[in-house]
């Protein structure tokens, strides 16, 4: 850490991890409700558990990216953050709004919540990921504007590196892509068009750029490879992301009432969407091989290398499986989608957030890296979480396959609930894998509470003795 103001990233990272924990708890509850529909009913119905799970995901990722921006932008710009105080105030507003949203989901019936928050005046509520009441959506915009103002002013007064330009540019994109949240027309085709641009515009376009910038920053710092080389790779990855993603997002428009040519355009261009992830893998491993130093923070390196691989697996491979229109015709809305969603969100976006946290938190706490013991806990957490998330994805893929075989492509299709019954074993497997993930998360969080920093002398002595 080079600048005092980078410290505002700490509450963002801590807040993100706390919300992450909450997300997993709701995930476990919702998973159990697949097996026992009356579990916690009527106190916590499935739809509420489900939307708390997805909303917390988005909020904690946003919080982590904001923290990352407050950490990276000053360091890259070689200047203090424009206003650390504004960043702190924004954090508390964001956290309070996030907590209020979840509490209102839990304690106020959704229809009543809509009535008291002015949804009638400007309808925005009800669509997946965008369930937040109107005032909260406005709050999200204000928080985003505050962040953009702060980092853009920092960028203007400091050094303009490519990483900073890509990061700040994609944060602007993130905010702009949220605006269709306020567009909810009666026409369901138009409504779904706008809806896809938000969270899916993020994950298939904008957030890939954030991911690239964060990974590029971590790799420059950890490997000591020339900035110039990293930047060239980043530009290629950004270009490929946009070339594939902007039109590739059309794979959401199949059979929705959108013009039929989207079946072709969406199929062809979304088939290219794995390419940027393949490039990310090539990039990170090339940087690893070209490294000029051994950074003591092995855990951060593990996250940084795991991210592109898991992103390729979850976003690239699992996404490709369901993206072609003829496949989507049968797989739409089955658990194949849920499998892809879990593996992609974790593999790409949660893992890159954990990677930057892993790199930055020790520095923010005044050490180059955590003690070897803490890193062992963290890396154990990494492996448990990664493997159990693969388990979740495989179990959901199995459940999706059951639906396709017994319902979608069957000569004598079974009813929805019958199929759910047939897939029960996979929902059990998913729940067990989810439980393992939760344990992995606890192991990971435990690493933050192990005191001490990385000691070169101690490590050396140990290595020599062994």
Partner 1 sequence: MATEISVDYPQALPGDFAIWIFIFAELVVFAALFAAYAFARSAHLEMFDAAQATLDRAYGYANTLVLVTSSYFVARATQSIKAGRATRCGHWLAGALGLGGVFLALKLAEFQQDLAHGISLSTNLFYMFYLSLTFFHFMHVVMGMAILAVVAYKAYAGRYGAADHAGVETGASYWHMVDLVWIILFTLVYVVH
Site for partner 1, rule CB under 8 A: 229, 232-233, 236, 239-240, 243-244, 259-261, 264-265, 268, 271-272, 275, 279, 282
Structure tokens belonging to residue 211: 């991911």
The distance of closest approach from Cβ of residue 212 to partner 1 in the complex, given in angstroms and rounded to an integer, is: 14
The distance of closest approach from Cβ of residue 259 to partner 1 in the complex, given in angstroms and rounded to an integer, is: 5
From CA 56, how far away is CA 417, in angstroms rounded?
28
**116 or 260: whose CB is closer to partner 1?**
260
State how far Cα 409 lies from the chain centre: 32
State how far Cα 416 lies from the chain centre: 30
**44 or 236: whose CB is closer to partner 1?**
236
**158 or 274: whose CB is closer to partner 1?**
274
142 exposure class (CB count in 10 Å sphere: 0-12, 13-18, 19+): middle
The distance of closest approach from Cβ of residue 76 to partner 1 in the complex, given in angstroms and rounded to an integer, is: 21
How many residues in the chain? 466
Those residues whose C-beta lies under 8 Å from the C-beta of residue 358, and which sit 6 or more positions away, are 297, 299, 300, 303, 378
From CA 249, how far away is CA 242, in angstroms rounded?
10
Strand ranges for 42-113 from DSSP E: none
DSSP letters, 154-179, are HHHHS---HHHHHHHHHHHHHHHHHG
From CA 90, how far away is CA 155, in angstroms rounded?
19
The distance of closest approach from Cβ of residue 262 to partner 1 in the complex, given in angstroms and rounded to an integer, is: 9
**189 or 373: whose CB is closer to partner 1?**
189
The distance of closest approach from Cβ of residue 268 to partner 1 in the complex, given in angstroms and rounded to an integer, is: 5
Residue linked to tokens 């909450």:
22
Long-range contacts formed by 110-115: CB under 8 A, 24+ apart: 110/47, 110/48
Structure tokens belonging to residue 236: 């290629």
**225 or 369: whose CB is closer to partner 1?**
225
**115 or 239: whose CB is closer to partner 1?**
239
**271 or 450: whose CB is closer to partner 1?**
271
From CA 153, how far away is CA 133, in angstroms rounded?
30
**272 or 432: whose CB is closer to partner 1?**
272
Diameter of the chain by CA atoms?
Answer: 72
The distance of closest approach from Cβ of residue 272 to partner 1 in the complex, given in angstroms and rounded to an integer, is: 5
The distance of closest approach from Cβ of residue 403 to partner 1 in the complex, given in angstroms and rounded to an integer, is: 29
From CA 462, how far away is CA 95, in angstroms rounded?
43
The distance of closest approach from Cβ of residue 261 to partner 1 in the complex, given in angstroms and rounded to an integer, is: 4
**18 or 247: whose CB is closer to partner 1?**
247
Q: How far apart are the first and last CA of the chain?
A: 33
The distance of closest approach from Cβ of residue 128 to partner 1 in the complex, given in angstroms and rounded to an integer, is: 28
Contact 339, 400 (CB under 8 A): yes
**233 or 438: whose CB is closer to partner 1?**
233
293 exposure class (CB count in 10 Å sphere: 0-12, 13-18, 19+): exposed
The distance of closest approach from Cβ of residue 275 to partner 1 in the complex, given in angstroms and rounded to an integer, is: 6
From CA 173, how far away is CA 205, in angstroms rounded?
9
């Amino acid at each position: 850490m080079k600048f005092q103001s980078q410290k505002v990233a700490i509450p963002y990272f801590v807040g993100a991890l706390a919300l992450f924990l909450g997300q997993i708890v709701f995930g476990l509850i919702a998973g159990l409700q697949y097996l026992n529909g009356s579990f916690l009913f009527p106190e916590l119905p499935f739809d509420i558990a489900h939307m708390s799970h997805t909303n917390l995901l988005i909020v904690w990722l946003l919080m982590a990216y904001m923290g990352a921006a407050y950490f990276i932008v000053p360091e890259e710009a070689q200047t203090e953050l424009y206003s650390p105080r504004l960043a702190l105030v924004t954090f508390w507003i964001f956290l309070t709004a996030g907590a209020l949203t979840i509490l209102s989901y839990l304690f106020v019936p959704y229809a009543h919540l809509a009535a008291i928050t002015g949804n009638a005046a400007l309808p925005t509520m009800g669509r997946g990921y965008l369930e937040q009441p109107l005032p909260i959506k406005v709050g999200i915009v204000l928080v985003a504007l505050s962040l953009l103002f702060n980092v853009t002013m920092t960028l203007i007064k400091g050094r303009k590196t490519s990483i900073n330009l890509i990061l700040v540019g994609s944060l602007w994109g993130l905010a702009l892509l949220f605006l269709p949240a306020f567009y909810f027309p009666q026409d369901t085709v138009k409504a779904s068009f706008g809806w896809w641009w938000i969270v899916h515009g993020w994950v298939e376009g904008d957030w890939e750029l954030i991911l690239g910038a964060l990974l590029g920053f971590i790799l420059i710092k950890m490997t000591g490879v020339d900035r110039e080389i990293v930047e060239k790779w980043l530009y290629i990855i950004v270009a490929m992301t946009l070339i594939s993603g902007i039109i590739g997002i059309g794979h959401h428009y199949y059979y929705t009432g959108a013009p039929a040519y989207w079946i072709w355009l969406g199929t062809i261009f979304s088939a290219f969407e794995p390419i940027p992830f393949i490039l990310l893998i090539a990039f990170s491993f090339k940087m690893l091989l070209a490294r000029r130093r051994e950074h003591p923070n092995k855990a951060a390196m593990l996250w940084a290398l795991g991210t592109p691989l898991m992103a390729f697996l979850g976003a690239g491979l699992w996404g490709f499986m369901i993206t072609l229109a003829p496949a989507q015709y049968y797989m739409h809305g089955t658990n194949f989608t849920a499998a892809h969603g879990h593996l992609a969100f974790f593999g790409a976006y949660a893992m890159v957030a954990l990677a930057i946290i892993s790199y930055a938190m020790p520095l923010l706490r005044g050490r180059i890296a955590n003690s070897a013991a803490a890193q062992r806990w963290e890396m154990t957490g990494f492996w448990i979480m990664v493997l159990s998330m693969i388990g979740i994805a495989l179990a959901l893929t199995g459940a999706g396959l059951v639906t396709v075989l017994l319902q979608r492509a069957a000569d004598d299709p079974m009813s929805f609930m019958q199929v759910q019954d047939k897939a029960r074993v996979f929902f059990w497997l998913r729940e067990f894998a989810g439980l393992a993930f939760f344990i992995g998360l606890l192991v990971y969080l435990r690493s933050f509470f192990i005191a001490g920093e990385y000691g070169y002398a101690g490590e050396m002595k140990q290595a020599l003795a062994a």
